[in-house]
Structure 1
Amino acid sequence: MHRTIQPLCRRSTYSGAVFAFTGAAMNVFLLPFALVPVGLWEVPSASLRTALFAAAMVALIVLLGLPRATRLISVSLANRLLGAELPEPAKHPLSRWSTRLRTSVWLQLHVGLGGLSTGLVLLLLMAGLVLPATWLSGGDRIACFGLSVDIVPGWRGAWVWPAAAAALVVSVQTCAAATAFLRVMAQRLLGHSAAERLAELEERQLILAQRNRLAQELHDSIGHTLTASTIQAAVAGELLEADPDAARRALRSIEESSRSALDDLDHVLGTLREEASATAPERTLANVNDLFERIRQAGTELQVDIVGDLTHVPTTVSREAYRIVQEGLTNAMRHGDQAVPVAVTVSADIAWLEIVVVNAISGRHSAATRTGGGRGLVGVTERVRLLRGEVVAGPAATDPDRPETTMPRLVGGGCWKLVVRVPLRLAA
């Protein structure tokens, strides 16, 4: 008994009835258009006229299911009235025609089952009202669809009351059953297909990869700026009275670095907010001298050796190489000893691009404390891996085989060395 009465208390039962009613209303709307071919062609047989009318109805529903707006409306109605929780229709072109076909099938089901269940519910409701009303009015004969029943007054006709109650309960059960069935079919016909789910997953992976890339860009840019600004602020504080001009230069350098970091931050936030006007600041090896100048203004002595023509490096590699040099210098400034210079070598030939950053290890940051690496080194490794290159980072002694200009003069012989090699032919 509980299962019989329970649908009476569910809101979905009545919202499903409204949904079925919309399918019946579509029948009424399409009916005049489906009767046009029947009126134009003189078909002598009634069965042929019925078949022609049915074919016209099917064709109209198929055409109605082709526009994407129809699927959007169908999904919205199913979510609101059936509680289907369907996702927004996919826009992937590979699933366009299969999606339209499934939309047409859904409309056929909606119109057909909606009209059938609405007619049955209305018939049951009418029986539930007419039977008691006829008994109360003194009895009469009721005829419907070729069937007739005599209702007599008195206790012999009291059966109309349980019959009316049964008709009302069956009408509610019909609504509940139609709602449940349409909800299941909505998931299959209005939900995403396998191709759409795969396309959605690929798109989500691309978005996550892009956001990870933006986070890496932000880490490199802001991390470098904060490190350089901290050192420059310390230098400016020490030189404020002894050398005001040098202090002002350090403060101007902080201003320029901060403005550059704000540009990067604006780009990242604009992309995350999906603003089309956001343009990425493209910095490549062509801008590496500006980076070196900012490092020197921060008070770090920098030895730079550029070998080969960097303008021939492919743009993709050049952009990543700039970030690698930036991150290497940031780590050197953060962990190195300011009393000794940092050496940077950028060399390019036909086949390879090589970047070497060497700095002395201070007492506060020994080789042991840096062996594990940090997020900066992880970011460098990810960039190099994407470019099919190789990276080596770790403590090293001075290399006697290299020219003196490429290695800092170290106290005690200990240093931290970052070496990156990227193939250029593969990248091009």
Structure 2
Amino acid sequence: MREFARLLFGRRTRRRWIHLILGGALAMPYVFVGQLVVGPALDSRYVFNDLRAQVLSFVVGLPLAALTAWLFPLTRSMEAVVVRSLCGVDEGRLSYGPARSRVARRRTAAWFTLHLGFGGIIAGMSLAVPPFAAVLIALPVVALFDDDLLGLPEAMGDGRLLALMPVAGVACLVALAACAAGAGALLARWAPALLGPTPEDRLAAAEARAADLAVRNRLARELHDSVGHALSAVALQASAARRVLDSDPEFVREALAAIEDTTRRTVGELDAVLGVLREGDAPGTAPAPTLAADLDGLLRRTRAGGLRVRATVDADPESLPPVVSREAYRIVQEGLSNALKHAGGQVTVTLRIAVADGHLEITLDNPLGAAAPCRPGGGHGLRGIADRARLLGGTAEAGADAAGWRLRVRLPLRSPA
């Protein structure tokens, strides 16, 4: 019994009842317009006193409501907010954007028509049934004082029938609550289908998520390759300086100078990386490093960390497209950073950069040294290199062979079709 009472008069049902009454209120202007059509058609001068004219006015007004929802795309947004608040529908199943496509507009028009249709009926019942039920409940009390006060028919003279009037009044109220609960439940069930995202909405949302994920992945690559490389180099330089602090002060001074230069430059690169988060690079943002302008500095700082680098550059960095030059710099930077971390500080790394068959070829070879312990969350460098190469239409290969470890990347000098 308690569950039945909660179903008819619970908080969720009451909120849905309010939603239906709001639909009835929204239907009133359309009913008034319908009366302007129905009144002359029925030659009725008093439409308000004619139940048939009222019903026909309501029926004529519903297509006008559907037309309104079709013409105003924001109807879906407003209805979705109301449905989430009053009908208890999960917001993840609703679409809050305007109805742009034909399918979305048709669904919104259907929903708006149902909302106003059910709402008009329930609102009318809510106005008429409670006073009628109150009269039925009060009849036995009134009859005690005067049988003719309300002009009761003779059939009411039977006391048993008169005693059933309060039961009929309560039954009317329960029936009203049941109708409101049923109509509210139906609208709540249909809301996700009619106000939920269409296939076009889901595609647009997926594209937006993909674009956001691409920006986040690009930011992660930039941070990993720039800041990660700098921190690895600084850590090795500081470690080398600590070991020879007493025996070789000159080397310590050089290491500290390299650390200062690396950190200063990294601050500028970090500013450029953070520009990825903005709509466009802000004024004063440091430009992203390129192979043409920054390769020599990268090699100098890497060598200062104790890694011997033998570089052979057979390409003219100045002639490279800007995007290729920028991505190539990051690839070389990450390759050298991996050598610093995993090959040991006293090995020779061979770097070759050349142009062949319309491609920029980057090859980095180093012997397999004593591998450093893997840090938690690491291991994204090679995947970042592969992502950069793939985005430019190139390829990246990395692995061990008889001579050691080889990284080979080919980047097309022209954008892929």
TMscore range, shorter length: 0.7 to 0.9
CA 141–317 in structure 1, closer or farther in 2 if over 3 Å, else same = farther
What is the aligned counterpart of 2:115 among 97, 110, 118? 110
- Scaled by the length of structure 1, the TM-score of the pair is 0.79
Partner of 2:72: 67
Partner of 1:169: 174
What is the aligned counterpart of 1:255 among 260, 263, 276? 263
Distance apart, 1:43 and its partner CA: 5.1
2:9 and 2:399 mapped to 1: Cα distance? 70
2:78 and 2:363 mapped to 1: Cα distance? 60
Mapped pair 1:325 → 2:332: yes
**Does the CA-based 8 Å contact 1:220-1:376 persist in structure 2?**
yes
What secondary structure, in the 3-state scheme, does the structure 1 residue paired with 2:361 have?
A: strand
Name which of structure 1's ranges 47-56 and 76-85 shifts more when overlaid on structure 2: 47-56
C-alpha distance after superposition, 1:362-397 (max 9, x if no partner): 2x239xx9xxx9432232233334444333323345
Partner of 2:239: 234
Identity %: 32
Mapped pair 1:284 → 2:290: yes
Give aligned pairs, total. Answer: 395
Partner of 2:131: 126
1:149 and 1:218 mapped to 2: Cα distance? 92
- Specify the code of the residue in structure 2 equivalent to 1:313: L
Partner of 1:410: none
CA 90–197 in structure 1, closer or farther in 2 if over 3 Å, else same = farther
What secondary structure, in the 3-state scheme, does the structure 1 residue paired with 2:177 have?
A: helix
2:164 and 2:220 mapped to 1: Cα distance? 75
2:389 and 2:148 mapped to 1: Cα distance? 92
2:381 and 2:263 mapped to 1: Cα distance? 24
Mapped pair 1:416 → 2:405: yes
2:281 and 2:156 mapped to 1: Cα distance? 78
Partner of 1:400: none
Partner of 2:13: 13
1:16 and 1:53 mapped to 2: Cα distance? 21
1:185 and 1:36 mapped to 2: Cα distance? 32
Partner of 1:210: 215
1:124 and 1:261 mapped to 2: Cα distance? 74
What is the aligned counterpart of 1:305 among 296, 312, 315? 312
- Scaled by the length of structure 2, the TM-score of the pair is 0.80
CA 78–392 in structure 1, closer or farther in 2 if over 3 Å, else same = closer
C-alpha distance after superposition, 1:30-54 (max 9, x if no partner): 4445556678xx6575699997885
What is the aligned counterpart of 2:363 among 339, 356, 366? 356
CA 245–357 in structure 1, closer or farther in 2 if over 3 Å, else same = same
Distance apart, 1:170 and its partner CA: 0.8
1:114 and 1:352 mapped to 2: Cα distance? 68
C-alpha distance after superposition, 1:159-198 (max 9, x if no partner): 1122122112111111110111111221111111122123
What secondary structure, in the 3-state scheme, does the structure 2 residue paired with 1:361 have?
A: coil
**Does the CA-based 8 Å contact 1:135-1:152 persist in structure 2?**
no
What is the aligned counterpart of 1:346 among 346, 353, 362? 353
1:223 and 1:301 mapped to 2: Cα distance? 20
CA 293–221 in structure 1, closer or farther in 2 if over 3 Å, else same = same
What is the aligned counterpart of 2:400 among 395, 401, 407? 395
CA 154–175 in structure 1, closer or farther in 2 if over 3 Å, else same = same
What secondary structure, in the 3-state scheme, does the structure 1 residue paired with 2:120 have?
A: helix
C-alpha distance after superposition, 1:208-238 (max 9, x if no partner): 3432333233222232111111122234443
**Does the CA-based 8 Å contact 1:106-1:189 persist in structure 2?**
yes
1:427 and 1:232 mapped to 2: Cα distance? 40
What secondary structure, in the 3-state scheme, does the structure 2 residue paired with 1:357 have?
A: strand
C-alpha distance after superposition, 1:81-118 (max 9, x if no partner): 1112244636588x434323322222211111101122
Distance apart, 1:350 and its partner CA: 5.0
**Does the CA-based 8 Å contact 1:353-1:422 persist in structure 2?**
yes
What secondary structure, in the 3-state scheme, does the structure 1 residue paired with 2:249 have?
A: coil
Partner of 2:385: 380
CA 305–169 in structure 1, closer or farther in 2 if over 3 Å, else same = same
Partner of 2:206: 201
